[in-house]
Amino acid sequence: MSDEPDEIDDSRAPLMDHIIELRRRLIWSFAALAACFVICLYFARPILAFLVHPLKAAGQVRVVYTAVTGGFLTEVKVAFFAGLMLAFARAMGDAMYACGNSARRDALSAWVPVYGWEMADPQLSFPSSPGGFYYGTAHGMDSYYFTGTVDALGTYPYFDPGKATPDATTTAQRKALSAQMIAYLLNFAKNGDPNGDGRNVPTRWPRFMGPADRALINFTYPAIQTSSNAFEHTHKCDTLWGPDVFPPLY
């Protein structure tokens, strides 16, 4: 028999380590659910108004409760289920989408040049006084900029209706950002480097170099920004959703 240790057996954590890890993850899960519940409880009445809108549209003038605590308990239930959906959406968004993309960039960067970006329109950030349904800087909005059709953003469903027709300064900044993004795209299509010879891009797009330097460019205005490892830190890809802490979902 070989005296060499069994690598599989050596890699197995003791049962107590698994139990401790399970407890830690459950604590994180319930804490996140509790936080989302509190947030949704504050907005319970607007959420409930949204849910009963079809009834009002059908002619039901008011909602009738059959118990003294009916209204309060209904809001609590609405807040709980809304918080559950909010927590699940955030967890899946971070674990599967954000950290999943980061993991793919890590893998690809060992073989080919990788350039990552984020898109953020400051006019679509959370307003202090919301006036409608919020979409934010949605996935696919960068297509308006890459195709030079930012004027069509006026038809986008804004959270704040007042932002649907931006002022002249915002319009000019959007068009300038669109021109820069198109220049990056054409340079990349031409020679595989979005920076080209550097003459037509004011901000150099850093290459994603792997775990040591996970650089990204943030397309925003009035000025394009760059960062390194900030995306992974924001979405907790190295802690809560890291492969050594949480089983990869991507």
The residue ranking higher by pLDDT, 172 or 94, is 172
| pLDDT band with cut points at 50, 70 and 90 for residue 8 | very low
Can you give the pLDDT at residue 164? 57
Q: What is the mean pLDDT of residues 31-47?
A: 86
Catalogue the E-assigned strands of 97-243: 116-119, 215-219, 225-228
Task: Look at residue 15 and tell me whether its pLDDT is greater than 70.
Answer: yes
In Å, what is the CA distance from 187 to each residue of 196, 209, 239?
A: 5, 19, 36
User: For residue range 98-110, what is the model confidence (pLDDT) as tens digits?
Assistant: 888 888 888 888 8
Other CB atoms closer than 10 Å to residue 230's CB: what's the count?
Answer: 15
User: For residue range 199-239, what is the model confidence (pLDDT) as tens digits?
Assistant: 888 899 999 988 888 999 999 888 999 999 888 888 878 77
- Rounded-to-integer distance, Cα 123 and Cα 118, Å: 15
Can you give the pLDDT at residue 135? 52
User: Among 60, 62, 58, 59, which Cα is nearest to 70's?
Assistant: 62
User: For residue range 52-96, what is the model confidence (pLDDT) as tens digits?
Assistant: 877 777 777 777 777 777 888 888 988 998 888 888 877 777 777
Phi and psi at 4, nearest 5°, equal -70, 140
Residues 6+ apart with CB under 8 A from 121: 137, 141, 153, 174, 220, 221
- Rounded-to-integer distance, Cα 94 and Cα 232, Å: 9
The residue ranking higher by pLDDT, 175 or 69, is 175
What torsion, rounded to 10 degrees, do the Cα atoms 242, 247, 249, 250 define? 60
Other CB atoms closer than 10 Å to residue 35's CB: what's the count?
Answer: 14
